[in-house]
A and B are shown apart, each in its own frame.
Chain A
């Protein structure tokens, strides 16, 4: 695997408060990884994701994605970088209400000057929402809206898929399905960085859990995936045979 993302001594200071600030964060993510960033609210985990996405700039330190130092890009260059390399999935979907599902999915491609309705329909099919192509977001369930948002994030075949609490606004079952989908994309080679506070969901798909607290990385755990038998993982304990 080759390195895709590198944060070096990244600090982010916000005026008027410390919430979400980062303090000297260094971390690298390999191509093909599915890594989860976990931490309490205000710990800086979303800030990390926004810096990697080029949605925000660090106060100091460097952010490199696919060999490009984002600090060296101007606003237009950063916008191009985001369009060409980053897919972003948010907690609250952010679909444009006056466009249909299909039109929403096509926005990033149109910004790039590509008209790829074939690719969009392929994604609709892959994400099992083919039937909603011509519907407006208000008529879709939360799960369907998030699938449309994922399709929109994937339309330009991004190098990196970033997801910030993608299941936060969904019920457990729908959230599981959305995570299953991300797992599937990862199995097909997609690099994914996921911000979540749900350790159950994170560990199901991500083999790496980066813990952030108070603007610092406090742990970086790489998890194993052996096929353990039930008795190796759980032991239901019995009493001694009663007399």
Chain B
């Protein structure tokens, strides 16, 4: 990948990477660290992609793996066990509330919800990105939705 190709790919995909990392880690500063790691890997990789969708899927897979490694760190668990305000402090109150409720879901529900509703991936694609079985993705989406219906007063409009 040439430097211009790299920069174009980064500009194309970085917001998606950042959003997924924020969803996993619930901390903007940590998510930016992950984004940097992800794109350094892209810069070094030999892989070429048939489509931009493949490119994004690869980046999100790497993002998911790096985030999971980070989540396992006891240091991270102690430091970031609650969502941090730096992600959504400037959002309108209603949006802040929506994000806050999603971010309070356990990670196993949060990530499929994010990939399904924000990145608009199918269950099969979410399974491929996260390495979770399709049936489990379906279950987690369902349970995540159920939890959100409980948490949000204006749910059920999807």
A and B: interacting chains: no
Interface residues of B (CB under 8 A from A): none
